[in-house]
Each structure stands twice: as structure tokens, then as C-alpha cells.
Amino acid sequence: MASARNDVDASGVKSLTHIGVEGEARMVDVGDKAATSRVAIAEGRVRMAPTTLATILVGDAKKGDVIGAARIAGIMAAKKTSELIPLCHPIALSSVVVDIAPDEALPGLSVRAEARSFGPTGVEMEALTAVAVACLTIYDMAKAVDRGMSVEGVRLLEKRGGKSGEWRAQELKS
């Protein structure tokens, strides 16, 4: 069996861990990695017309509670991440929190997810998947009112734990 590429190649450039020596896609072996507490936080937003935001906030969307359904969808998606992302490890999540808040400045809804686990691999994909699916659920539930909504800015904000330690995204310029 082909072994994994090193983390850094001969020229000092980081290599992709999901690519084997022959260039084939592979699942990274995390069996020998130490189990540590892992946390990842991601964000995204759904931009919409001010009237669409008002409709959601007063609870008049035809499909029901948009924010509540999106929160549950995000949590469910985080739990199914390894079924959606081909080379992602199935992990035992200890917590997934999805917060959705109105943002009049967009206008729209801001989505933030935090995923936690204790194990040999990170939870970045679970946090990102939670945000993406929550945003898509908002779109689905409100598209009858506003097909021009856009899902934007899905990104990792922070990760903690594991060999690489802490990482934080740089602030975006307005």
C-alpha cells in the first residue's frame, strides 16, 4: 500500500494529506494520533430583501419557523458530515451549537456554528457543514418570497486542539 506524502515536500511547501504518493485520493490514517479536545467555529450568512427578513422574523413564512428549522438542519448536517464529504472521518461529536441572528445591515441572517469533540481528528468540516446546510435551509424555506437571496461568506473562523493547536481567521475588511 502506498504511504502518505509528508506534511512538507522537498521544496518546503505543505502537501495535501488526502493525496497519496501516486496522486490518488485517500482517507488519512488518524489511528496513531492522540485524542484531544477539538473545537471549530464557522460562519456564513444569507443576504435577502428587507421584506424577506421581516417576513421570517415575524413568523409569516409559508413553510413555518425558518430559523428553528435551519438550526435543527445545521445540527443534523454536522452529525452526517462524514456521509456527505467523501474522505471525512466519522467522529463522535460532543456538541453542536448553531446560532442564527438577524442582521439588518446585510439585510439577512448570520449563521454561526460551533462543533466540539474529543478525538484524533478535527471538527472543522462539521462546523462548516452545519453552517452551509443551515444557510441552504433558510434559502429553501424563504425562496417562495425571495429567489434572489444569496448564501455568502461560509468560512472557518477558529479551530482549537490537536497537533496544530489554535488557528483563527483574519478579520474580513468591510
User: Hey, how many other C-beta atoms are within 10 angstroms of the C-beta on 127?
Assistant: 30
Q: Quote the distance between the C-alpha of residue 169 and its chain's center.
A: 14
Cα–Cα distance for residue pair 88/39, rounded to 1 Å: 16
**Residue of 9, 65, 140, 146 marked catalytic:** 140
List all residues 6 or more positions away from 76 whose beta carbon is below 8 Å from its beta carbon: 133
140 a catalytic residue = yes
Cβ contact 130:75 at 8 Å: yes
Sign of CA dihedral 13, 43, 138, 99: positive
Cα–Cα distance for residue pair 57/66, rounded to 1 Å: 9
User: H/E/C letters for each residue in 4-48?
Assistant: ECCCECCCCCECCCCEECCCCECCCCCCCCCCEEEEEEEEEEEEC
Tell me which residues are annotated as active site. 140
